[in-house]
Amino acid sequence: MRTEGEDLDQCAVCGMKIVDATTSFCGNHSEAYRKVNDAYSLWYAAYGSLTTDAFLKRLLTLPETGDRAREMARFLSRDPERWK
């Protein structure tokens, strides 16, 4: 959800120009969002009743998690309503 005064053409995570109006993310964060979302589905199937919050916290602790995925995990942790 956008805050008052937030530029509608800027990525909700980093402020770069958005490429996906449905998610309001730049190219990098749109791809990171897709990958994080896909990974959650796989983890949920493997772990069972894994909450999105627990998933995001685990994702942040993994050394192999990339920078954009880390930024997206932090963003989704702060703004869970953006998780679809």
| Whole-number Cα distances in Å, 53 to 15, 32, 57 | 24, 17, 6
How many CB atoms neighbour CB 18 within 10 A? 20
- Mean pLDDT calculated for residue range 2-11: 64
Residue 41 has pLDDT above 80, yes or no: yes
Nearest CA among 81, 83, 68 for reference residue 13: 68
- Mean pLDDT calculated for residue range 64-75: 96
| Whole-number Cα distances in Å, 72 to 19, 25, 59 | 16, 10, 10
Indicate the pTM of the whole model. Answer: 0.83
**pLDDT band for position 6 (cuts 50, 70, 90):** low
User: CB-based contacts of 24: which residues, under 8 Å, 6+ apart?
Assistant: 2, 8, 11, 12, 18
